[in-house]
Copies of this chain bind each other. A is one copy, B any other.
Amino acid sequence: MRVLGVDPGLTRCGLGVVDGSGGRTVKAVDVGVVRTPVDAPLEQRLHVVATEVAAWIARHRPDVVAIERVFSQHNVRTAMGTAQASGVVALMAAQAGIPVAFHTPSEVKAAVTGQGRADKAQVTAMVTRLLRLTDKPRPADAADALALAICHCWRAPMLERMAAAKARSDELAKAHKARLAAVAKGRT
């Protein structure tokens, strides 16, 4: 499975492509960062991010695009820009017919370092080690994008099992409800 991880942002948007083998082995394919000028109009900045992400999708043909789930806990203005960028990234995936998965920062940190409150340096160090890179990916947004892709490679089988279990339980609940309705009808 090939995953394009995206750490969305307007000033810096991290992109990382990772191949997963099904097991724990992961391989780095490409990593980079898109920058847009702070003083450019918002729609132009989004346009640059969208164009670059579409180019990465066309070049690497990922099976999934994994995007960091944005929370507005910190600076509201920054969080809004990040959310707008993440929407544009998700749209590029949809336009290419590729499914999107969202993972929270703590899910990514927990997957890669074993603990959800790891700092940036720990995440970068683990990403470097897991992908057997000779140099640390820079800036941190690029390392975060690779971490997201790794996180998705590892969580995907579990998420699929959960989705299958949910579908099965929904089906059982539906059948049970139908049976109850039939019994009730038989009584009247």
**Which of the 9-residue segments A79-87, A141-149, A154-162, A174-182 touches chain B?**
A79-87
CB contact between A90 and one of B42, B70, B93, B94 (< 8 Å): that residue: B42
CB contact between A88 and one of B70, B76, B88, B99 (< 8 Å): that residue: B88
Chain B: minimal CB distance from A98 (Å): 8
Number of copies: 2
What sequence of 0s and 1s flags, for each residue 62-96 of chain A, a beta carbon within 8 Å of any chain B beta carbon? 00000000111000100110011111101101110
Check: A56 CB closer than 8 A to any chain B CB. Answer: no
Residues of B with C-beta under 8 A to A47:
91, 94-95
A86 to B82 alpha-carbon distance, docked (Å): 12
**Chain A interface SS verdict (over half):** helix
A76 to B80 alpha-carbon distance, docked (Å): 11
Check: A25 CB closer than 8 A to any chain B CB. Answer: no
Residues of B with C-beta under 8 A to A79:
72, 80, 83
Residues of B with C-beta under 8 A to A87:
46, 83-88
Check: A50 CB closer than 8 A to any chain B CB. Answer: yes
Check: A106 CB closer than 8 A to any chain B CB. Answer: no
| Closest B residue, CB atoms, query A73 | B76
26 A-B pairs whose Cβ atoms sit less than 8 Å apart in the complex:
A41-B100, A42-B102, A43-B91, A43-B93, A43-B94, A43-B99, A43-B100, A46-B91, A46-B94, A47-B91, A47-B94, A47-B95, A50-B91, A50-B95, A70-B80, A71-B76, A71-B80, A72-B72, A72-B76, A79-B80, A83-B87, A84-B84, A85-B87, A88-B88, A88-B91, A91-B91
9 interchain residue pairs of minimum CB distance:
A84-B87, A83-B83, A47-B94, A43-B94, A87-B87, A43-B90, A72-B72, A43-B100, A46-B91
